[in-house]
C-alpha cells in the first residue's frame, strides 16, 4: 500500500471513530444497546490498533497537565465512589473515548483531522435529512427506536423521530435529539465555511454542504445551539479583527469584547421573557432549574471529592434512577457540565476541568490570532482553517452551560482532541502553508495544511 493510500485509510478510520462518537445514539436506536456496544468496541479497537501501529512519541510535557490531573481524578474516584460498579463502568467508557481521542490527535496530521471531522459531520447531516424524509413520506407517524415497545402513550422524548419534517420541525435526525443534531449542523456550518475560505473545498461542494447544514440547523430550532452559534460567531469575529492588527494594538479589542459581553448579558437579562417565548421555552428552561436544584443538593452533601465518576448517568444507579424526572422522562445528565463535574468529582475535579477548559481556550485563541512563522524566520499568511480549534472550543463550552455532552461521547472526544492538538502545536511548530494560493502543493502535515485529495473528494 502506498503512503498516500495508507494516509487516506487512517483518515477514513478516524472518520468512522468520530462518526461513532458523534452519532452514538444512531447506533443505539438502530441496533439496540448490544449492537451499539459492538460498534463502539470496534471503534475503540481501531483506535488502539492505530496507536500501536503508529507508535506516536508521547512526551508528557506535550499533554496538558490539567488533562492528566482530570483523568487521574476520574480513575481514582472509584476509591471513594458511592456506586463503585457504576463508576468502574463510567471509567471504562471515559478511557475508551480517551483512546479514540489519542488516536485522532496523535496519529493524524492537522489536515487529516479536518478531513475526518468533515466526513463524520457530513455523514451525520446527510443521513439525518434522508432519515427524516423517509419517516415523513413512508412512516407518517412518530417512529420509536428499534427493539422497543413504548406503547401509544409514550412521551415524545422516547421517539427516534416525531415526523415533523414537513411541519417545519423540530427534527431529531439519526441522533434522536434536536440539540445533538443542531450542534452537529453548527459544527459543519463553521467547518465548511472555514474550509471554503481557505480554499480547501470545491465551491460547488462547499455551497451545497453550507446550505444543507444551515437547513438542518434551522429545522432543529434548538435554543441551546443558537446560543452556541452566537458565541462562536462573536469569537471568530474578534479573532479575525485581532488578525488584522499588531499585537501592540490589541488591548482596545479586549476592552471592546469585555464591554460588548457585558452589554449582551444586560440585554439578555432585560429581554429574558421575550427570548424564552421566542424559543418556546418555559420559565424554568424546560425543567433545567429543577434538575440543577437536585444536583446542587447532592453537591452540598459531598462538595470536595464528589460521589464518583459516571459520565453519563446510569439509570440503574441510585439516585439517578429518579433524580431528574420530568413529564415521565428520566433525564440522565445535569444539563450543565460544570455542575455535573462538581457532583461527580467534587471541587478538585471542577478545578481540574476548569483548568483544562481555560487552557484549551487560551491556546486555541492565540493559535487563531498569532501569525505563524516559517523556518526562515519570516511571517506566514494566516489561513482561515486555523480558526477551527477556537470555534470548536467555544461551541463546546457554550453548550456546556445547558448540556453535559462535553463529558461524554462526541463532545468529550472533540474536547480532548482540541486540548491535545493545541498543546502539541505549542511544542512542535510546523511550517504553515500560505493561504489559498497553492493548497494542493503545500506541505500536508502543517497546522494549517490542506487536506489534499481527501478534501477534494469529500465534497
Render pLDDT for 114-138 as a digit per residue (tens, 0 to 9): 999 999 999 999 999 999 999 999 9
Which contacts (CB < 8 Å, 24+ apart) does range 451-455 have? 451/111, 451/112, 451/114, 451/115, 451/118, 451/200, 452/111, 453/4, 453/8, 454/8, 454/11, 454/111, 454/112, 454/115, 454/119, 455/111, 455/114, 455/115, 455/118, 455/195, 455/200, 455/201
> Over the stretch 164-205, which tens digit does the pLDDT of each residue have?
999 998 999 999 999 999 999 999 999 999 999 888 889 899
Q: Does position 385 have pLDDT exceeding 80, yes or no? A: yes
More confident residue, 45 or 332: 45
The pLDDT value given to residue 448 = 43
Candidate from 23-37, 90-104, 310-324 with smallest mean pLDDT = 310-324
C-alpha cell at 123: 455523514
- Is residue 331 very low, low, confident or very high in pLDDT (cuts 50, 70, 90)? confident
| pTM exceeds cut of 0.85 | yes
Kindly state the DSSP code that residue 163 receives in the 8-state scheme: S
> Over the stretch 55-89, which tens digit does the pLDDT of each residue have?
777 666 788 999 999 999 999 999 999 999 999 99
Give burial (CB, 10 Å; 0-12/13-18/19+) of 219.
Answer: buried
- Is residue 256 very low, low, confident or very high in pLDDT (cuts 50, 70, 90)? confident
Contact present, 348 and 305 (Cβ < 8 Å):
yes
Q: Does position 452 have pLDDT exceeding 50, yes or no? A: no
Structural element, H or E, at residue 273: helix 272-278
> 200 φ, ψ to 5°?
-100, 5
Contact present, 248 and 254 (Cβ < 8 Å):
no
Contact present, 172 and 426 (Cβ < 8 Å):
no
More confident residue, 396 or 154: 396
> Over the stretch 151-165, which tens digit does the pLDDT of each residue have?
767 788 889 999 999
C-alpha cell at 225: 445551539
End-to-end CA distance of the chain: 24
Structural element, H or E, at residue 179: helix 178-198
Length of the chain, in residues: 459
The chain-wide mean pLDDT, for the chain, equals 85
Please tell me whether the peptide bond between 319 and the residue prior to it is cis, using omega within 30 degrees of 0: yes
User: CA 290 to CA 29: how far, in whole Å?
Assistant: 28
Percentage of the chain surpassing pLDDT 70?
Answer: 84
Cβ contacts of residue 28 below 8 Å, gap of 6+?
35, 36, 145
The pLDDT value given to residue 258 = 80
- Is residue 437 very low, low, confident or very high in pLDDT (cuts 50, 70, 90)? very low
Q: Does position 329 have pLDDT exceeding 90, yes or no? A: no
Q: Which residue has cell 415533523? A: 164
- Is residue 378 very low, low, confident or very high in pLDDT (cuts 50, 70, 90)? low
- Is residue 459 very low, low, confident or very high in pLDDT (cuts 50, 70, 90)? very low
Amino acid at each position: 500500500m502506498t503512503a498516500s493510500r495508507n494516509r487516506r485509510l487512517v483518515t477514513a478510520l478516524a472518520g468512522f471513530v468520530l462518526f461513532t462518537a458523534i452519532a452514538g445514539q444512531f447506533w443505539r436506536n438502530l441496533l439496540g444497546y448490544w449492537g451499539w456496544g459492538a460498534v463502539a468496541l470496534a471503534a475503540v479497537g481501531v483506535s488502539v490498533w492505530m496507536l500501536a501501529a503508529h507508535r506516536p512519541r508521547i512526551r508528557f510535557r506535550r499533554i496538558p497537565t490539567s488533562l492528566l490531573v482530570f483523568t487521574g481524578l476520574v480513575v481514582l474516584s472509584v476509591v471513594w465512589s458511592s456506586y463503585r460498579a457504576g463508576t468502574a463502568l463510567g471509567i471504562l467508557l471515559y478511557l475508551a473515548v480517551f483512546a479514540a481521542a489519542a488516536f485522532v490527535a496523535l496519529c493524524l496530521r492537522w489536515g487529516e483531522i479536518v478531513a475526518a471531522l468533515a466526513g463524520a459531520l457530513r455523514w451525520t447531516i446527510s443521513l439525518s435529512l434522508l432519515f427524516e424524509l423517509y419517516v415523513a413520506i413512508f412512516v407518517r407517524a412518530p417512529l420509536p427506536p428499534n427493539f422497543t415497545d413504548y406503547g401509544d402513550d409514550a412521551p415524545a422524548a422516547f421517539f427516534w423521530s416525531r415526523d415533523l419534517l414537513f411541519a417545519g420541525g423540530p427534527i431529531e435526525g439519526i441522533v434522536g435529539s434536536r440539540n445533538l443534531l443542531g450542534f452537529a449542523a453548527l459544527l459543519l456550518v463553521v467547518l465548511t465555511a472555514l474550509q471554503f475560505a481557505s480554499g480547501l473545498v470545491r465551491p460547488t461542494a462547499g455551497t451545497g454542504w453550507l446550505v444543507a447544514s444551515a437547513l438542518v440547523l434551522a429545522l432543529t430550532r434548538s435554543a441551546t445551539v443558537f446560543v452556541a452559534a452566537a458565541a462562536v460567531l462573536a469569537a471568530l469575529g474578534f479573532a479575525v479583527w485581532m488578525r488584522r492588527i499588531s499585537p501592540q494594538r490589541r488591548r482596545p479589542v479586549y476592552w471592546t469584547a469585555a464591554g460588548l459581553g457585558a452589554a449582551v448579558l444586560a440585554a439578555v437579562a432585560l429581554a429574558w421573557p421575550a427570548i424564552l417565548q421566542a424559543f418556546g421555552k418555559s420559565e424554568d428552561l424546560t425543567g433545567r432549574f429543577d434538575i440543577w436544584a437536585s444536583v446542587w443538593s447532592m453537591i452540598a452533601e459531598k462538595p470536595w471529592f464528589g460521589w464518583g465518576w459516571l459520565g453519563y448517568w446510569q439509570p440503574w444507579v441510585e439516585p439517578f434512577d429518579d433524580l431528574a424526572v420530568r413529564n415521565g422522562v428520566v433525564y440522565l445528565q445535569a444539563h450543565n457540565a460544570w455542575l455535573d463535574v462538581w457532583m461527580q468529582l467534587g471541587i478538585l475535579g471542577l478545578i481540574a476541568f476548569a483548568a483544562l477548559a481555560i487552557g484549551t481556550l487560551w491556546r486555541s485563541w492565540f493559535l487563531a490570532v498569532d501569525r505563524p512563522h516559517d523556518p526562515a524566520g519570516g511571517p506566514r499568511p494566516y489561513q482561515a482553517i486555523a480558526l477551527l480549534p477556537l470555534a470548536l472550543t467555544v461551541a463546546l463550552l457554550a453548550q456546556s452551560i445547558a448540556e453535559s455532552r462535553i463529558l461524554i461521547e462526541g463532545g468529550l472526544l472533540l474536547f480532548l482532541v482540541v486540548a491535545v492538538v493545541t498543546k502539541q502545536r505549542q511544542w512542535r511548530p510546523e511550517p504553515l502553508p500560505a493561504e489559498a494560493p497553492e493548497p494542493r502543493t503545500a506541505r500536508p502535515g502543517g497546522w494549517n495544511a490542506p487536506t489534499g485529495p481527501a478534501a477534494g473528494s469529500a465534497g
